[in-house]
Structure 1
Amino acid sequence: MNNRSKNKQKWFWGVVIAIELVLFYSSSMTYKEQTSVPFLEKYFKNQPFHDLLSKIGFNYSGKYQSVANDGYFKFVEFIIRKGAHFSIYLLLGLFLCLALNIYFKKNIFLKVFVPWMTATGLAAFDEFHQGLTGGRTPLVDDVILDSSGALVGSLIAILILYLLYRHKSKKELFTM
């Protein structure tokens, strides 16, 4: 492995560690410390997209989530929080895949599977840690959502790596 590859890999591991630190800090906070409802009530008094959001509803972890059941601001916060779950684990899966890529050069299954399962294990640990925090409830559904985000992130990383490899191969063909 050349120095450039080592530097990239260190950077990828640095991002993975930074994401984990953010997740650990976040799961250490109580719901009251983390809620965005006061912010939403203050800055979104006109309730943008209320009509559209009031038509949406779904079951999540045994509860029907909707504007009618939860109110506009709590429903918007719920969507933001679950979007954050998916997004942060998408990034974690992506950067874990990039960091571990060097170890699984020839095996595409392991390139996806190991980062995905690592992120899923970290999600389960994060939910356990969250359960030790007052006013928070660990949910299996959140682990599933996090795991889905990590899988998508791993697949995106594989696609990026494939496209970069293909581009590099084409470039080499034309420079010969």
Structure 2
Amino acid sequence: MTVSNQSFEQQSIQPRLMDYITEDKLRETLPDVSVSYGVVKIESKEDPFRFVEFIFRKSAHLFAYGLLATFACVAFIPYPNKPRFRWIALISLLSVIIVASIDELNQAQMDSRTGAFQDVVLDFVGGCLALTIIGLIIWKKRSKAKRKER
């Protein structure tokens, strides 16, 4: 069973958080922040465990789809015609959008989950961040190589 097919309750980190910190201590530690995401508004001081879980889940989207974009990028690099990085990045981002959309459609079909367009956007942002970092690394290496040639 994939994570996408698990119910929200099966994925919840709130019970584990409660083992390590009290609600009052967490409430004290967190800044007074509220986040609107789609039709949901989550306030750190009102429901601190839910807030931490929300931040954790959305960070996981950024990280996981950043990795997907990275792996897709690396998979396309060895082709003999050596396409430019921007084409590889475009294909990688298209892969991210397709996989993220399929994942959210899958979740929308389940009774215990909801699919959210905002998650596809967040996944896309994760892919963009990862590819920006890769692009900067490639640019820096090329700049260094050009300086050595002079």
TM-score if structure 2 supplies the norm length? 0.84
The structure whose residues are more often helix, as a share, is 1
The alpha-carbon deviation at position 63 of structure 1 amounts to 1.7
**Residue-by-residue CA offset, 1:97-120 (whole Å, 9 max, x unaligned):** 222133473433312211111111
CA RMSD of aligned residues (A): 2.4
Relative CO higher for 1 or 2, CA cutoff 8 Å, sep ≥ 6? 1
Deviation at 1:43, TM superposition (A): 1.1
- The range that moved more, 118-127 or 46-55, is 46-55
2:113 is matched with: 136
Q: 1:6 corresponds to which residue?
A: none
Match of 1:117 in 2: 94
Q: CA 1:47/1:87 → structure 2, altered by over 3 Å: closer, same or farther?
A: farther
Tell me the number of residue pairs that the alignment of Structure 1 and Structure 2 aligns: 149
CA distance in 1, matches of 2:143, 2:27: 45
Task: Provide structure 2 residue ranges, at least 5 long, that are not aligned to the other structure.
Answer: none
How far is the alpha carbon of 1:46 from its aligned partner? 6.0
Q: Give, as a single letter, the amino acid of the residue that structure 1 aligns with 2:78.
A: I
For residues 96-150 of structure 1, what are the alpha-carbon distances to aligned partners after superposition, in whole Å with 9 as ceiling and x for unaligned?
1222133473433312211111111110111112223341110000010001101
3-state DSSP of counterpart to 1:73: helix
The percentage of counterpart residues that share the same residue type is 27
Gaps of 5+ in 1: 1-23
Which of residues 28, 43, 49 in structure 2 aligns to 1:66? 43
Q: Which residue of 1 aligns with 2:10?
A: 33
Q: TM-score, normalization: structure 1?
A: 0.73
Partner SS for 1:135: coil
